[in-house]
Amino acid sequence: MTSDQPTPDRIMHLVNGYWATGILGAAASHSLFTHLEAGADTAGGLADRSGISERGAQTLLDGLVGIGLVELHDGRYRNTAEASTFLVEGKPTSLSEFAKLKMTHMAALADLPEVVRAGGPIRAATVEVADNPHWKKVVTAIAPQSVPVTAIVAELLGLADAGEISILDLGGGSGIFSAAWLGLNPAARATQLDWAPINAIARRLVAEQGVADRFTCIDGDFHSTELAAAAYDVVVYSHVAHQEGPEDNTALLAKVRGALRPGGTLVICDYVVDDDRSGPSFSLIFAAEMLLKSRRGGTWRRADYLAWLAKAGFEDVTFHPTPSPTTVILAR
């Protein structure tokens, strides 16, 4: 067989792609990355520390080597740099809770053939339901994903030295942007608009950072809640655009435009698709998640954002890819 002939190897991996979700989720459930980081480096040692069987530990280690998250040197295991940064518990960037959560979402994907036929969710749409308990689990699990992004935006906007600024986070979830920026700038104040049970989570997490005295929450639906006019220097719209359809995004962005002070900046963070729909791969694939879970959501192209922002009255728009799947869009 010559090297340019197709082989079934990649397709066998894709067909069984849920193995990776399961192995990663099970390893995270038993804190394997955390124990590896602390020095356990054999199946026996990991089994002892995590209270699982040695056969189970060896199987997970084999799988983790197979998916490239653990390395084997002279019979000893260790985290790759990637696993060490993003899967060890307690690190601000740790996605281990997210890995556990996604394992519980696997079965829902079996609906996808019917969902694509129907053109939308065939069960109660998740993102449109007020106070859906879904969000309680999701917002804390995805917060670490935004940690590097909060630092990138803070740098782009010079937030640490911006003095007495007022920040609004629409659908702020865990409050991760407020927590990070209030920590950087002791004169800043932040407000988050989200459902009441989610704001309760955000208040707790922001308080853990010691900045709760400058953090306010508005409980409610961001579609129907009025925003104070010309009241904010920075408005955040992070991982919200993908759950909304074009009309709602345009309406929400226009509302945000009215809430910004002259010279203020809108910060959109989302999985943005190239105009010719050729990439990036994470953004393209994530659209299936929104088809499954939202009536009108999707992953939107740069051209879509530009059109909505122009309609909403923004004139100066820039796109900033980040090392994560998230693109930052700044609009003034």
> Which residues contact ligand SAM by CB under 6 A?
127, 135, 139, 142-143, 146, 171-174, 176, 194-195, 198, 221-223, 238-240
Q: How far is the CB of 60 from ligand SAM (least distance, A)?
A: 29
Distance, in Å, from the CA atom of 203 to the CA atom of 205, rounded to the nearest integer, reads 6
Q: Which is nearer to ligand SAM, 131 or 274 (CB)?
A: 131
Distance, in Å, from the CA atom of 82 to the CA atom of 99, rounded to the nearest integer, reads 14
Closest residue by Cα to residue 146 from 174, 171, 105: 174
Q: How far is the CB of 83 from ligand SAM (least distance, A)?
A: 22
Question: How distant, in Å, are the alpha carbons of 62, 176, 262, 270 from that of 146?
Answer: 30, 7, 27, 10
Distance, in Å, from the CA atom of 44 to the CA atom of 222, rounded to the nearest integer, reads 51
Q: How far is the CB of 203 from ligand SAM (least distance, A)?
A: 13
Q: How far is the CB of 127 from ligand SAM (least distance, A)?
A: 6
Provide the CA 9 distance to its chain's centre, in angstroms.
30
Backbone angles phi and psi of 271, in degrees to 5: -90, 100
Where do runs of H (alpha helix) occur along the chain?
A: 9-15, 17-29, 32-37, 43-50, 54-66, 81-86, 96-103, 112-118, 133-157, 176-184, 196-208, 246-259, 281-293, 302-311
Q: Which is nearer to ligand SAM, 22 or 220 (CB)?
A: 220
Pairing of the two strands 166-170 and 76-79:
unpaired
Tokens 């193995």 belong to residue: 19
Q: Which is nearer to ligand SAM, 26 or 139 (CB)?
A: 139
Contact between 60 and 141 under an 8 Å Cβ cutoff? The reply is no
Q: How far is the CB of 73 from ligand SAM (least distance, A)?
A: 36
Q: How far is the CB of 107 from ligand SAM (least distance, A)?
A: 21
Q: Which is nearer to ligand SAM, 121 or 173 (CB)?
A: 173
Q: Which is nearer to ligand SAM, 40 or 269 (CB)?
A: 269
Q: Which is nearer to ligand SAM, 78 or 255 (CB)?
A: 255
Q: Which is nearer to ligand SAM, 77 or 237 (CB)?
A: 237
Count the Cβ atoms, other than its own, within 10 Å of residue 272.
24
Q: Which amino acid is at 151?
A: A
Q: How far is the CB of 156 from ligand SAM (least distance, A)?
A: 17
Q: What value does the CA radius of gyration of the chain take, rounded to a whole number of Å? A: 21
Contact between 21 and 106 under an 8 Å Cβ cutoff? The reply is yes
Q: Which is nearer to ligand SAM, 22 or 148 (CB)?
A: 148
Q: How far is the CB of 41 from ligand SAM (least distance, A)?
A: 34
Read off the tokens for 281: 């791969």
Q: How far is the CB of 121 from ligand SAM (least distance, A)?
A: 15
Q: Which is nearer to ligand SAM, 79 or 192 (CB)?
A: 192
Q: What kind and span of H or E run contains 319? A: strand 317-321
